[in-house]
Amino acid sequence: MVYIRSTIYFIVTLTITTILLPLMLASMLLPFSVRYFFAELWSRVALWNLKMICGLSHEITGQENIPTDRNAIVLCKHQSAWETVAVQIMFPMHTFLLKKELLRLPVWGWALATLEPIAIDRNDRRAALKSLTTQGVKCLNKGLWLIVFPEGTRMAPGTKGKFNSGGSFLAHKTNTPVIPVAHNAGEFWPPRSFLKYPGIITVKIGPLIESTNRKASELNAEAEAWIDNAMQEISDPAYKTSS
């Protein structure tokens, strides 16, 4: 049934994408909020279908940590394709820091491009940092939030990648607060996998980390430590039983 449900979900999601993508592309000359509306609609429908078809839902704690009077930079655990969809409905209007290769993907990449992401070349660290700083300042000045996956690539549950400091560096430069996010989506939608297993994904949104008068390395270390601790808690069988 997991194979069958995952296949049905893929077909339904592809159908919805072929409907909404042209609308996103057609709205390129319209305000960003219009394109964002279609992206958010797509995410909500995709998550609803995931629950109805695959039996995979989620629960979020820590939403009270999301400020309503200013934007922030979100440093999120990266385990699955799920969080790239789900963050769209968790946080205020935002864009992403991502590798430029993703924009070349058919359909999905075109949709991402309409959301004005900060696309960087990871093979050129100096150019990447310059792009992040220049485009990141513009993004934040517009009032947008920025979503960053510090590990850079999806990591299997129980593993972690290098926690890159690009997001923390931008936070330091702009005095923008950081919000860490942990989740266990990879346990149900494994990285680079077609299959989606039924269950409830746990998402924990951490407390706001102020960046004023703090070094980027300090911000990064604090966010990484919070995520690591939260991941240990989420993965604890006792926690899953109690929740």
Question: Which of the four pLDDT bands, split at 50, 70 and 90, describes residue 241?
Answer: very low
Give the pLDDT confidence of 189-239 residue by residue, as tens digits: 999 899 999 999 999 999 999 999 999 999 999 999 999 999 999 985 544
pLDDT mean over 181-191: 96
pLDDT of residue 17: 87
β-sheet bridge partners, residue 76: 181
Give the pLDDT confidence of 60-88 residue by residue, as tens digits: 999 999 999 999 999 999 999 999 999 99
pLDDT of residue 236: 58
Give the pLDDT confidence of 116-174 residue by residue, as tens digits: 899 888 777 888 888 889 999 999 999 999 999 999 889 999 999 999 999 999 999 99
pTM for the complete prediction? 0.91
pLDDT of residue 235: 81
Residue type, position 155, single letter:
M
pLDDT of residue 90: 95
β-sheet bridge partners, residue 200: 57
Query: For the domain with range 57-242, which CATH number is right: 3.40.50.12160, 3.30.2090.10, 3.40.1130.10, 1.10.10.10?
Result: 3.40.1130.10
Domain ranges (residues) in the chain: 57-242
Place of tokens 């911000």: 219
β-sheet bridge partners, residue 204: 61, 182
Q: Kindly report which listed range (105-119, 172-186, 188-202) carries the lowest average pLDDT score.
A: 105-119
Question: Which of the four pLDDT bands, split at 50, 70 and 90, describes residue 111?
Answer: confident
Three-state SS for the chain is CHHHHHHHHHHHHHHHHHHHHHHHHHCCCCCHHHHHHHHHHHHHHHHHHHHHHHCEEEEEECHHHCCCCCCCEEEECCCCCHHHHHHHHHCCCEEEEEEHHHHHCCCHHHHHHCCCCEEECCCCHHHHHHHHHHHHHHHHHCCCEEEECCCCCCCCCCCCCCCCCHHHHHHHHHCCCEEEEEECHHHCCCCCCCCCCCEEEEEEECCCECCCCCCHHHHHHHHHHHHHHHHHHHHCHHHHHHC
